[in-house]
Amino acid sequence: MSDGPTYGFDTLQIHAGARPDPATGARQTPIYQTTAYVFRDADHAAALFNLQEVGFIYSRLTNPTVAVLQERVATLEGGVGAVCCSSGHAAQIMALFPLMGPGCNVVASTRLYGGTVTQFSQTIKRFGWSAKFVDTDDLDAVKDAIDDNTRAVFCESIANPGGYVTDIRALADVADAAGIPLIVDNTSATPYLCRPIEHGATLVVHSTTKYLTGNGTVTGGCIVDSGKFDWSANDKFPSLSEPEQAYHGLKFHETFGPLAFTFHGIAIGLRDLGMTMNPQAAHYTLMGIETLSLRMERHVENAQKIAAWLEADDRVDYVTYAGLPSSPYHDRVKEHYKKGAGALFTFAVKGGYDACIKLVNALEIFSHVANLGDARSLIIHSASTTHRQLTPEQQEAAGAGPGVVRVSIGIEDADDLIADLDQALAKASA
């Protein structure tokens, strides 16, 4: 697309990054199912490998189908560039990789997906990294947790599983004052409901598996670079500010400016970690994004109606949906998430753990799966599945206690979903 007019979200979700195929005129982005690309000559090959020219070398690094997806997600998020990879978990490691080193830590929200808590509390220790978990609503606690070895603050815009919404601007101010980036996982909100970069985030990560694709067919991840962070302002980020020996002393920030993080993610991250998105996955996600705004509108509409119904039901203890007037986050939604609070939330079933199991087993339309963001409505009992590896205290902090189920509301008929929940609650409370 040209750089002239300023296009709306609905237009960009279809057209950003995409052009008719120059060889065939194909209007839909082709799946470039190839591992390698022919160089024009030896000088062209050398220029590509020296990062003196942008182009395609090998599909572990770059691929034309994936490149379109990267440009589209970056455009929708308001970033300067993006790197797609094999999963949301891969995106998190890729986001931290240029920032961290042995002895460094990340300050992370306690309200994170259980798999992320495990990745941050256990797996990253193998790299010599560590995480400090704090309640990111307590800004003083965040400030106190940041020390000389902290390299980033990490949160989710709409937290999985509870659907809590984060005050991104407030967290960004804390991170800025400490001279470190704020990384926001925007999977549950998508750029349709929230654009974290506009609120001060440095990097945005996605599990493209979820709402961006929206059909439960492929896994993928993405890191979006705001291009606004000064990686050379201090000595905390040598991977971006100091000479890179693998490229003859090239300094990424000095050479690529606002695109330093993006180029590092491809030239170092994908080169050495190999967490590559395959072109077919990129193709499915591109097709999903074309209807993102339409789906998110229905997701939010259904979630609002179903959450209100659940809150009024005597068989339910509480509902965490931030779109409800009773939620402590309701005012924050109205201020920062003007198109709605998403479609992910939890509710507590009277009867606790056993009642939750009965509920899950009795549902007919809702699918019992370890996923979210599908066009279909999904449910899971987090304490026995996605958050099973956490301690009881961690489960409670994450909003995934034993008497709680997580729902991802789809785009079916809301009345049908309510009827399904009604009959399942009847069995669960019998």
Burial of 255 (0-12, 13-18, 19+ CB in 10 A): middle
Map out the domains of the chain with their CATH numbers. 12-288 (3.40.640.10), 293-428 (3.90.1150.10)
Helix locations, 24-104, DSSP H: 42-49, 64-77, 88-96
Greatest pairwise CA separation for the chain in angstroms: 75
Helix locations, 252-316, DSSP H: 252-256, 260-264, 271-273, 279-289, 292-311
Output the pLDDT for position 41: 95
SS3 content of the chain, % helix, strand, coil (to 5): 40, 15, 45
Strand 404-408 and strand 378-380: pairing? antiparallel
Burial of 248 (0-12, 13-18, 19+ CB in 10 A): exposed
Output the pLDDT for position 394: 78
Output the pLDDT for position 1: 57
Output the pLDDT for position 5: 63
Residue 346 and residue 348: Cα distance in Å, rounded?
Answer: 7
- Which of 61, 70, 56, 51 is CA-nearest to residue 225? 70
pTM above 0.85, yes or no: yes
Tokens (6 digits) for 335: 């201020």
- Which of 347, 396, 403 is CA-nearest to residue 117? 396
The whole-number mean pLDDT for each consecutive block of 10 residues of the chain, a chain of 430 residues, reads 74 94 90 96 94 94 97 98 98 98 97 91 97 97 98 96 93 98 98 97 98 96 98 97 95 97 97 97 98 98 98 97 96 92 96 94 95 95 77 76 93 98 95
